[in-house]
Amino acid sequence: MSSGQVIQGMKQNLQVFKFGGASLQDPDGIRNVGEILSTYKDQPILVVVSAMGKTTNKLEAIVAAHAAQNGKALALFEDFKREHIEACLALFDAEDEVFVSLNDALVEIDWALEEEPHEDYDYAYDQVVPVGEMVSSIILHAYLNKIGLPSQWLDARDIILTDNRYREAWVQWEETQENATRMAAPMLEKGGFVITQGFIGSTTENFSTTLGREGSDYTAAIFSFCLDAESMTIWKDVPGVLTGDPRLFENVTKLDLLSYKEAIEMTYYGAKVIHPKTIKPLQNKSIPLQVKSFLDPTGTGTYISDEVSDNYPPLVAVEKKQALLHISTRDFSFVAEHHMSHLFKMIAEYRLQVNMMQNTAICFSICVNDIDDKVEQFSAAINDQFKVMIDRGLELITVRHYQEKILDELRADKLVLLEERIRETVQLVLKDVPGMKRKAEA
């Protein structure tokens, strides 16, 4: 049987599950994932996992400390090791071979820390940070086998080929498809669970890459696409997709059904519940996406598919850590087409992520994610021709299917620096005003 036929045959019931950091944050979390999976025993399921809890932040701190040579990297690494070993001691006997696999994965960080810091920070980052996903997948794989749920372990870097845009790598789809058909499909054909890592890939030279923070949802979609999954499920700490982030808003409600189009818009504008790149590959093959709660696995969750509903309540997405750049020419000329062309080239070169823009006669304004020192670097690079004024610490709020009452509530006690309405979407760039408080309604 050719591998193409294998995939066709399996399409009936192959599912892809993704468990994020919140679901795997401690030994009890891992036990809970084991319990959820036990209800799917003997079904072909590819399980994509993120690093445990906030591990990726901790690995980022190790990379930064090593680059800065501030003497803190080793102590941070010791903490990281201790936490994972303690989690394993709670789940396994001290002689279990999981400890050998764990050490083999951790040694990659030892090697990186022994070397001088690499001049390319993003490259160095991608050689260390994937260890978080490696160790969580090793632990879950060993745990499932221990509790009688046979599972195989797959290194996602053998499947997901990317370019060498470190920290934001782009998938090379043809090669990835070929690898998935040749290596992942036969593993699933054997039955049982296949455990792999989210967020990571590899270049043709076998260097590790990452797909961008929170990228494990996207990994699950890449596998779903390449393996023609029947459905994909992401297991979260919320009952499904809600009308807003419950950490920021009260009175949010669950959406039972959502169209791919609406999900793409919501996540593009910053609804953090799903990584924005996740939906498109699923939509292309009409693979439904379910968002379910690992705290209430039998709950109905949210079902995202081709189903079109034109009757959504207002949906709110918030992007924090925004910077607004007001760019004007130094020779007082209008911001004309040739300026724009140069500015867009520089925006791409400095990898600014633009969330909103507006042009007036003498000023071009962009609202961007304020990450690391990208904004300073970009401003310095265009300084010879352009004057740049920067407003930081802002919030970008997007409301789909807005109602004026909600906009008023969101604007309360804030200064609106930029506002735009396009059809059913409103975007507001807001600044906190210390001491300013709206009067209570008369």
Binding site for ligand ASP (CB under 6 A): 20-21, 50-51, 56, 132, 198-199, 213-216
Site membership for ligand ADP, residue 246 (CB under 6 A):
yes
Residue from the set 22, 36, 106, 113 that interacts with ligand ADP by CB under 6 A: 22
Site membership for ligand ADP, residue 26 (CB under 6 A):
no
Nearest to 316 by CA among 260, 263, 243: 243
Site membership for ligand ADP, residue 272 (CB under 6 A):
yes
Site membership for ligand ADP, residue 251 (CB under 6 A):
no
Q: Indicate left, alpha or beta for 325 from its phi (over 0: left) and psi (-120 to 50: alpha).
A: beta
Q: Is 17 exposed, middle or buried (0-12, 13-18, 19+ CB in 10 A)?
A: buried
Q: Could you say which of ligand ASP, ligand ADP, Mg ion, none residue 51 binds, taking C-beta under 5 to 8 angstroms by partner kind?
A: ligand ASP
CB contact at 8 A, 351 and 374: yes
Site membership for ligand ADP, residue 29 (CB under 6 A):
no
Site membership for ligand ADP, residue 244 (CB under 6 A):
yes
Nearest to 267 by CA among 289, 284, 286: 289
Q: 164 in helix, strand or coil?
A: coil
**Terminal-to-terminal C-alpha distance of the chain:** 76
Query: How many residues belong to the site for ligand ADP (CB under 6 A)?
Result: 18
Amino acid residing at 434: P
Name which of 20 and 130 has its Cβ closer to Mg ion: 20
| Contact string (CB under 6 A) for ligand ADP, positions 33-72, x = contact | -----------------x----------------------
Stretch that binds ligand ADP, among 15-23, 125-133, 185-193, 399-407 (CB under 6 A): 15-23
User: Closest distance between ligand ADP and the C-beta of residue 266, in Å?
Assistant: 7
CB contact at 8 A, 38 and 147: yes
The 10 Å CB-count burial string (b at 16+, else e) for 265-293 is: bbbebbbebbbbbbbebbbeeebbbbbbb
Residue from the set 126, 214, 265, 370 that interacts with ligand ADP by CB under 6 A: 214
Site membership for ligand ADP, residue 395 (CB under 6 A):
no
User: Closest distance between Mg ion and the C-beta of residue 278, in Å?
Assistant: 12
Beta bridge partners of 418: 429
The residues that touch Mg ion, with contacts defined as CB under 5 A, are 20, 214
Beta bridge partners of 232: 16, 289
Name which of 273 and 347 has its Cβ closer to ligand ADP: 273
d(CA 143, CA 27) in angstroms, rounded, equals: 10
Name which of 221 and 227 has its Cβ closer to ligand ASP: 221
Name which of 19 and 386 has its Cβ closer to Mg ion: 19
